[in-house]
Copies of this chain bind each other. A is one copy, B any other.
Amino acid sequence: MQTQKLINDGNLAVDEMLAGILAAHPQHLWRPEHAPRAVIARHGPRPGKVALVIGGGSGHEPTFLGFVGKGLADAAAIGNVFASPPPQPAVDAALAANGGAGVLFMYGNYAGDVMNFDMAAELLEMEGIEARTVLTTDDIASSPVREKRRGVAGNVFIFKAAGAAADLMLPLDEVERIARHANARTFTMGVALSSCSLPQTRRPSFDLPPGEMEIGMGIHGEPGVRRGPLRPADEVTDEIMDALLAEMGASRGDRVAVLVNSLGATPLMELYILHARVAARLAQAGLSVHKVLVGPYCTSLDMAGASITLMHLDDELTRLIDHPCDCAMFRQG
């Protein structure tokens, strides 16, 4: 059965989306001539500032380009749906955002992205621009080994911390250190209730029978840790929170930031029902909640489901998470 989408030609979906985004947010975003897949912050890049360049496949909106703006990322490289951008858009984005203090590439840990951004970094080095990379690896369901994990919704907090550091004009070494530190303290796990479907095919991209859920599924449909009948929201939340809290290893009195994220088709009512349980569990664990985000932050096209992210704050991360930002799709005063 075909799923229904408000699109034109599936092969043009990303370019048409970009046209719609640039038309909607001219105060926030611009695109260099001859660089159709690079999006740059209107206010943000400036001389002496480390350029934070993020990116990856499309279909996760507002990730990535919704987080380009003053106080957060300086630019994004935009791939096709669920596909890494080739090196050129990453180079274009970096060149347009370059302030002479080096470039930090940040993106989720996926083989295609690593290959393409590494090539972009080499191309930049050849032009005399120092480029470093921090991979996000917050998806605790994707591997027992931190370095092998994928990057998912926790990106929001990790990019936010690094973006704030860069906006504060810290040098490349410091922005890189903070980015790694933020990533190491961020933990995400999701649950899928349905497949998404690609614009090109309009068919489910994997099989998840009605009535089933998959805990830990990745944002491109990568296998999770457990499939079974859908359980009540509180039980699902508990399963995820048990895993997150065990990984995080926080002490009573520690502070956290929380993100309850929609994978695309799951509306706010359900996210807030999940959050009621998340809040109860954090209170039970004696953790203090410094910031809460609830909504679609890192989606998987029209997938039904949600993810929960905890960032284990310290004083430094708290300050950076509170730093103001003004992006097309994320704003904080």
Contacts and interface: CB of A to CB of B under 8 A. Distances in A.
Contacts of A191: 6
B6 A302 contact: no
A87 interface: no
Q: Which of A4, A8, A276, A326 has the most CB of B within 10 A?
A: A4
A265 B302 contact: yes
A5 B326 CA distance: 33
Contacts of A25: 292
Contact of A7 (B233, B275, B295, B305): B233
A274 B232 contact: no
Given A6-B193, A296-B296, A306-B6, A17 B233 contact: no
A142 interface: no
Contacts of A292: 23-25
B273 A296 contact: no
On chain A, which size bracket covers the interface?
35 or more
Given A268-B299, A295-B329, 6 more contacts: A5-B193, A7-B270, A17-B269, A20-B276, A23-B279, A296-B296
A226 interface: no
B301 A24 contact: no
Given A2-B211, A6-B270, A294-B24, A16 B276 contact: yes
A102 interface: no
Copies of this protein in the complex: 2
A8 to B, nearest CB: 4
Given A275-B20, A275-B24, A270 B210 contact: no
Q: Which of A61, A210, A299, A301 has the most CB of B within 10 A?
A: A61
A318 B82 CA distance: 39
A264 interface: yes
Contact of A296 (B194, B268, B274, B326): B268
A254 interface: no
Contacts of A304: 4, 265, 302
Contacts of A2: 210-211
Contacts of A326: 333
A59 interface: yes
